[in-house]
Structure 1
């Protein structure tokens, strides 16, 4: 896809080789790669496309993606994965996010990313799981999580494990709207904007 002023030009390319030729001579704003094209699922091919795309936003589509495949796609350089089952409204949402330089993750991909971030933090800081605070006053002074209530801390820890609002509500036997209210309070107290930032924060402080 090429953009000139307010005019958008869409070019259909039928093979990976033709895509390489196009990218070597042209720039693009958005590349939507049909993963059903021969060779499109080869990791080396995908890495080459990512290296040639310059400033273009890269979307993988045409097939169903497992959460693991979605995260792998983002690691290669894609900003969204669009299975063929998506409706028009969902596609528009994805394009809106991507056009604003955002990254789109499916509802299944978000918990997978949270779990991976948590796992990475545990492996990076193995001692953090062993240390215990013996001085409660010192802990309150130095631990940023001390501003949370007991219930808020329970919810934050469950979210950090990759639980959805529904799963948290079931685990704590509370209403899902109560979970949402607690999360709003948690976001404000910890100065984070969303669940992903909360997971990153928790991984470094819990």
Structure 2
């Protein structure tokens, strides 16, 4: 069984090789472009994709994973963030990521994670699940006064933001300029009381406003 690993950290890579089972074969890539190339290769079939989220480009990588998941919705992706971020975890799970684990996960724990993911469930840990429930409850109270205030155009932009689309792609899809997309976002952030694309995407995902 092949596992594609997007990993730029040698120490974490060495650890992964030590904790995977004998039946697993790890394939390492260090660039996002190589991940896409590996998935496009007709001869390459990966049961899982492990992604190490480094500190230096954490936010960018989170959005890269969302876009990757959108392109390959059937691929099981497990992320290994090097920092704790509730917002990022919500963003990734709402995009369909199968699991989140510590980079230096133990051998037996990883075995359990893969077993859970194989069964069709997600792995996030007890604490995360509790926080997710609390977050959903808090967000629900503000829905009527936030997303409900958006115009049809603004809601369309919000839906595409939740999919992880960049401004240029949104502009092409909606047949408007990037400048207009930015103007819509400024208005959307104000109306929904969100500070950035990540917060907006989480709000939209919470209420199934995306396709």
Q: What is the TM-score of this pair, normalised by structure 1?
A: 0.50
Kindly indicate whether structure 1 or structure 2 has the higher relative contact order, using CA contacts under 8 Å at least 6 residues apart. Answer: 2
Q: What is the TM-score of this pair, normalised by structure 2?
A: 0.49
The structure number with the bigger radius of gyration is 1
